[in-house]
Amino acid sequence: MVRPVVPEADRVIGVRRPVLTHGFVALVDYMGNDAAIVQAARVSYGQGTKSVRDDRGLVRYLLRHRHTTPFEMVEYKFLVRLPIFVARQFIRHRSGSFNEYSARYSIVPDEYEVPPPEEVRHQSTRNRQGRGDPLPPEAVERFRTDLDRVSKDAYATYSRALADGVARETARLVLPVAYYTQWYWKTNLWNLFHFLRLRLDPHAQEEIRLFAAEIARLARVVCPVAFEAFDEFELASIGFGRRELVALRALLDGKTPTEACGSAGLPLVRDDGRPMTSGEGVEFLEKLERLRRAE
């Protein structure tokens, strides 16, 4: 038995792809490729099924019908350097193995993230955890200046504490979440798809989207066929719930979108008569707009 090798992936192993000011993503190792997915799937059926469906068609079939186990046969190991505030979002994805740089054993480098001016914006009026419209330039610069000052002051306090003999595990408490950490992350392809489906979404925070995009570029080199299917059947697909299907049927019967939402119980207006800016009805109309723009 020969270990699957992807020459294009071997050439990028260890190459650090920059993200943000001080961050990066590097592919450390991989196990398996598109052929490994096919091999795992055909264990159940035997070699005789190969004439029925070619490899690319089988991978697409598996993803389309969410037969997930064969995708778990492919594994990746990444080295990721990222701000702590991004790391806290990253670690929510529990389906992987993490080994993080220890600030108990090592001194934290003096590296922190100050977002570019265009990323300092108002709180979104629709998304309770996201950014919205631009802020006045003076508010943007005041925040960025304050963040720079606070970070420098915190690191000076951290350095002074270390010089006074304070244990590293205690001295690190003064550092803000703008500072950087790094870790090794090992995950299989199916769990990686789940991570990317959430973190490439436009509603995800911009900083983690940048890391997700770079991770996807590296992972795609190992399994280009699987990623082609992922792009089509996961990222570019649109799911509809039961009431949304009722509304779609009403649209096919000639009703307007507003009438269709009404007949399906998808509200578009509040009790006080004001138009809704979020909710199931608004999201359904957004899905219709995506359908209109689909190529």
Q: Which residues are annotated as catalytic?
A: 199
SS3 track for 247-282: HHHHHHCCCCHHHHHHHHCCCCECCCCCECCCCHHH
In the block, tokens 């008569």 appear at 273
Query: Which string of DSSP letters, residue by residue, matches 211-233?
Result: HHHHHHHHHHHH-HHHHHHHIII
User: How far is residue 79's CA from residue 15's CA, in Å, rounded to a whole number?
Assistant: 10
According to DSSP, the residues that pair with 82 across neighbouring strands are 181
The whole-angstrom separation of Cα 248 and Cα 242 is 10
- Residue 261 CB coordination number (10 Å): 26
